[in-house]
């Protein structure tokens, strides 16, 4: 079934599997609770109704928290009533989140209590915010509303359809300018991306969702595609407990980023002398047979290694701007070294070695960033991916490099090198700095200001630079931390415009 709205996905699946589990999650150490498709539809409609009753229908509603049943129902409630969801990274510092709330013109914030600090700061820092809703509070406290109470009190269901061409989600992604960009996706962008390709995955497949839910890859493929297939979506409560949760939930399929696959690969290599069936059972449980990989480059050697253990890795490719999947390998249609065959709703061409794509999943543009939108989207709807590559005669995509400077870490996070360079350059000891990814970690190469060091009695320049990096790392999100420092004794080579040559 190809759906062009998210509500269509939910209703079609509910019609088939209404009383069957849609979402399973842990309560306490190892008990499992679940919600059915009918409960999910009803709860999300009650949230749509609550937004309408509060006069917030059509407004921008941010949601922040780890993956949870509440997160999913909130997201569906927002987009299914024609409002715009703004999913935010649960790991960001509160100031950055408040800045994004302001930039995205958010009127309602729905938050997980693990980010109560955000709610507290947003009350002061976000003047446009009208309502704040807690996912866990049982009762209204001051001006913070309770999600559970809103659902219980929302008497009316909700029976309106959103327009497929309407904006429904703004997802923030890092940009090369150092300022994150809000990717505007419509109902059709997301719904068709999740449903246009028949991957021949049986309904009732058990999926373990382990990626951050604010990422397009997880939201689209774990949640929206999972719902469209009538899957059982199991929530991994922490990356710490993934190995344990594989045994607890017994998934058939998991979406991962390469960093996770590498960790499992190391375990498999350590156990190479043992019988594969035994190792597979111990590491992946009885049922796991498919891992979908996306978000970053995957070493093809892991695909071959996992095959020995009866696990197929399907490498795909995409970007948030394309809602997000552009291509994927399939079990019966794959090529080693390729990032997969183009999605049926997508066409591609190569312009000056750069891959351009067009189709029903291509975003509307960046929210309130007309210049950046113009740089990325052509007037006739082509999306410049920034990736270098080619498409073969069977529509399989092969990538050869990254055009933009953006660092994609091995766990799929986007890091803007300029952002880190700017932060480090605030200290005068740093005359020039270049940040890049080297050997899987973020490295900063610094040309120190020796005169400044001399004038300020800094005898151990390397130690001085290390303490600058340490002080930056103290407040940085884990994936933006600088792990390696290189000190150079000559200036960087410059372009004609006196900019440092990156490569």
Partner 1 sequence: MLEKLKEIILNYVEVEPEAVTPEARFMEDLGFTSFDFMSMLGEIEDTFDVMIDQQETADIRTVQEAVDYLEKLTA
In the complex with partner 1, the residue whose CB is nearer, 53 or 262, is 262
Q: Which of residues 211-240 bind partner 1 (CB under 8 A)?
A: 238-240
- The sheet carrying 354-359 orders its strands as 346-351, 354-359, 383-391, 397-402
Q: Using CB under 8 A, pick the residue from 89, 262, 354, 432 that binds partner 1.
A: 262
Q: Using CB under 8 A, pick the residue from 447, 452, 479, 492 that binds partner 1.
A: 479
Query: Is residue 149 near partner 1 by the rule CB under 8 A?
Result: no
Query: Is residue 270 near partner 1 by the rule CB under 8 A?
Result: yes
In the complex with partner 1, the residue whose CB is nearer, 1 or 274, is 274
Cα 223 to Cα 229: distance, rounded to the nearest angstrom: 10
Q: Using CB under 8 A, pick the residue from 276, 300, 401, 440 that binds partner 1.
A: 440
Query: Is residue 484 near partner 1 by the rule CB under 8 A?
Result: yes
Q: For residue 485, what are the contacts with CB-CB under 8 A and spacing of at least 6?
A: 443, 444, 445, 446, 462, 465, 466, 469
Question: In terms of DSSP bridges, do strands 253-256 and 290-293 run parallel, antiparallel, or are they unpaired?
Answer: parallel
Question: In terms of DSSP bridges, do strands 21-27 and 232-235 run parallel, antiparallel, or are they unpaired?
Answer: parallel
For 220-278, give the secondary structure using H, E and C: HHHHHHHHHCCCEEEECCCHHHHHHHHHHHCCCEEEECHHHHHHHHHHHHHCCCCCHHH
Backbone angles phi, psi at 435, to 5 degrees: -110, 135
Handedness of CA 206, 211, 214, 217 (dihedral sign): negative
Query: Is residue 177 near partner 1 by the rule CB under 8 A?
Result: no
Among the listed ranges 5-13, 37-45, 47-55, 261-269, the one in contact with partner 1 (CB under 8 A) is 261-269
Q: Using CB under 8 A, pick the residue from 241, 335, 402, 404 that binds partner 1.
A: 241
Query: Is residue 200 near partner 1 by the rule CB under 8 A?
Result: no
Query: Is residue 462 near partner 1 by the rule CB under 8 A?
Result: no
Backbone angles phi, psi at 344, to 5 degrees: -60, -20
Query: Is residue 247 near partner 1 by the rule CB under 8 A?
Result: no
Among the listed ranges 45-53, 199-207, 255-263, 285-293, the one in contact with partner 1 (CB under 8 A) is 255-263
Q: Using CB under 8 A, pick the residue from 137, 148, 179, 244 that binds partner 1.
A: 244
**Nearest Cα to 135, choosing from 43, 224, 6, 200?**
43
Shortest distance (Å) from residue 411 CB to partner 1: 6
**Nearest Cα to 78, choosing from 173, 162, 144, 154?**
162
Query: Is residue 121 near partner 1 by the rule CB under 8 A?
Result: no
Shortest distance (Å) from residue 405 CB to partner 1: 22
For 117-156, give the secondary structure using H, E and C: HHHHHHHHHCCCCCEEEECCCCCCECCEEEHHHHHHHCCC
Query: Is residue 265 near partner 1 by the rule CB under 8 A?
Result: no
Task: Tell me which residue has tokens 């440092």.
Answer: 500
Query: Is residue 338 near partner 1 by the rule CB under 8 A?
Result: no
Q: Using CB under 8 A, pick the residue from 11, 32, 54, 114 that binds partner 1.
A: 114
Binding site for partner 1 (CB under 8 A): 29, 114, 238-244, 259-260, 262-263, 266-267, 270, 410-411, 440-441, 478-479, 481, 483-484
């Amino acid at each position: 079934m190809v759906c062009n709205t998210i509500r269509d996905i939910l209703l079609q699946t509910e019609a088939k599997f209404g009383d069957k589990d849609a979402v399973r999650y842990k309560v306490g150490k190892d008990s499992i609770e679940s919600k059915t498709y009918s409960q999910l539809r009803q709860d999300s409609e009650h949230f749509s109704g609550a937004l309408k009753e509060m006069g917030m229908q059509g407004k921008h509603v941010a949601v922040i928290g780890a993956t949870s049943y509440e997160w999913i129902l909130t997201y569906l409630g927002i987009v299914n009533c024609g409002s715009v969801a703004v999913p935010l990274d649960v790991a960001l510092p509160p100031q950055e989140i408040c800045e994004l709330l302001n930039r995205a013109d958010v009127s309602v914030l729905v938050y997980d209590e693990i980010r109560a600090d955000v709610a507290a700061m947003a009350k002061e820092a976000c003047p446009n915010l009208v309502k704040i809703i807690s996912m866990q509070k049982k009762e209204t406290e001051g001006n913070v509303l309770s999600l559970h109470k809103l659902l219980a009190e929302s008497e009316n269901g909700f029976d309106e359809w959103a327009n497929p061409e309407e904006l429904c989600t703004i997802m923030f992604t890092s940009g090369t300018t150092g300022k994150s960009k809000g990717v505007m996706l419509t109902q059709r962008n997301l719904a068709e991306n999740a449903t246009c390709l028949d991957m021949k995955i049986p309904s009732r497949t058990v999926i373990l969702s382990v990626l951050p839910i604010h990422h397009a890859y997880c939201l689209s493929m774990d949640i929206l595609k999972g719902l469209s297939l009538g899957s059982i979506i199991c929530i991994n409560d922490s990356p710490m407990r993934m190995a344990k949760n594989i045994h607890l939930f017994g998934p058939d399929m998991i979406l991962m980023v390469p960093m996770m696959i590498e960790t499992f690969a190391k375990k498999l290599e350590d156990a190479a002398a043992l019988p594969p069936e035994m190792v597979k059972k111990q590491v992946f449980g009885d049922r796991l047979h498919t891992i979908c990989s996306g978000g970053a480059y995957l070493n093809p050697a892991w695909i071959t290694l996992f095959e020995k253990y009866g696990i197929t890795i399907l490498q795909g490719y995409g970007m948030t701007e394309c809602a997000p999947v552009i291509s994927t390998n399939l079990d019966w249609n794959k090529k080693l070294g390729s990032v997969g065959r183009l999605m049926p709703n997508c066409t591609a061409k190569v312009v000056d070695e750069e891959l351009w794509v067009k189709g029903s999943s291509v975003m509307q543009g960046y929210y309130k960033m007309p210049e950046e939108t113009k740089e990325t989207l052509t007037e006739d709807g082509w999306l410049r991916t920034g990736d270098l590559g080619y498409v073969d005669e069977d529509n399989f995509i092969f990538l050869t490099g990254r055009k933009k400077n953006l660092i994609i870490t091995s766990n799929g996070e986007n890091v803007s090198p300029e952002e880190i360079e700017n932060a480090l350059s605030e200290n005068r000891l740093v005359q020039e700095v270049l940040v890049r990814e080297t050997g899987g970690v973020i490295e900063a190469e610094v040309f120190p200001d020796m005169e400044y060091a001399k004038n300020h009695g800094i005898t151990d320049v390397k130690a001085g630079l290390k303490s600058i990096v340490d002080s930056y790392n103290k407040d940085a999100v884990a994936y933006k931390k600088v792990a390696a420092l290189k000190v150079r004794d000559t200036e960087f080579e410059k372009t004609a415009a006196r900019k440092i040559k990156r490569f």
